[in-house]
Amino acid sequence: MLTKRIIPCLDIKNGRTVKGINFVDLRDAGDPVELAEIYAKNGADELVFLDISATEERRKTLANLVYHVAEKVNIPFTVGGGISSIEDVDILLHNGADKVSINSSAVRNPDLINELSAKFGSQCIVVAIDAKQIDGDWIVHLIGGKVPTELKLFEWAKEVEERGAGEILFTSMDHDGTKDGFANEALAKLSTELNIPIIASGGAGKMQHFTDTFVQGKSDAALAASVFHFKEIEIKDLKEELRRNNIPVRL
């Protein structure tokens, strides 16, 4: 059985790591380079670095910051925010990223998934999907969760896989920052219907939530931010707890 992955997420705004609730009310969580180095030393399996305002402000991801983060870590590292072309991805991979995450640009131009997968390989391409429940349906949102689309989560996820994405990072906007647990029912459906890894995001508040998403949600990886940034959960302790619950992890 493949080991389950624990992935700290560094949401970046103006060069600082930030964290909010339901995608708003952001507060400072520290220097991203320092945090990345700490997480790599403390047992994180991967890192995700998202420039959360890049798309909204029409900026490109901070490639220089990516370079400095990558200098400090020896674990796989995904970068997202404002990526809309082969050239964008080329720059990020050359600056040290192992993978890229696309979201709004994939919805606006689905062929971009095919193009990036063909050029760089599906293992490099993560498609992030932010969704919230509206009238019983999971509806995909863009621009940091600000703009609803007509896309439904499960249909879009299947198309993303067919177009060549290597992984899906699913964030439940309803659960984000609430610390009430992941959207395990939706995650389990994604994991059952798709053949690519599903990363759970949104809702981690205690160690049990990670166990729940690996067992009930059938997630391949679990991503969290504030519980790690503010030292509410230490990754080493979390992995030992997961191992006690018979969940395969890399210690």
pLDDT confidence of residue 229: 83
Domain residues for the domain of 212 are 5-244
In a domain, 249, yes or no: no
Could you give phi then psi for residue 213, rounded to 5 degrees? -75, -30
Q: What is the CATH number of the domain that holds 87?
A: 3.20.20.70
Distance of CA 110 to the CA centre of its chain: 19
Residue 58: band (very low, low, confident or very high) from pLDDT cuts 50, 70, 90: very low
d(CA 10, CA 77): 11
Query: Is the per-residue pLDDT at 57 higher than 60?
Result: no
**DSSP strand pairing (5-13 vs 16-21):** antiparallel
pLDDT confidence of residue 205: 96
Q: Which of 45, 88, 130, 220 is catalytic?
A: 130
Give the number of domains in the chain: 1
pLDDT tens for 181-193 read 999 999 999 999 9
pLDDT confidence of residue 26: 63
The arithmetic mean of pLDDT across residues 109-118, rounded, is 98
In a domain, 146, yes or no: yes
Residue 28: band (very low, low, confident or very high) from pLDDT cuts 50, 70, 90: low
In a domain, 251, yes or no: no
Q: Which of 11, 51, 88, 176 is catalytic?
A: 11
pLDDT confidence of residue 54: 60
User: What b-and-e string marks burial along 77-114, b requiring 16 or more CB atoms within 10 Å of the CB?
Assistant: bbbbbbbbeeebbebbbebbbbbbbbbbbbbeeeebbe
Query: Is the per-residue pLDDT at 233 higher than 60?
Result: yes
Residue 30: band (very low, low, confident or very high) from pLDDT cuts 50, 70, 90: confident
Query: Greatest CA separation found in the chain?
Result: 46
Query: Is the per-residue pLDDT at 166 higher than 90?
Result: yes
**Known catalytic residue at 130:** yes
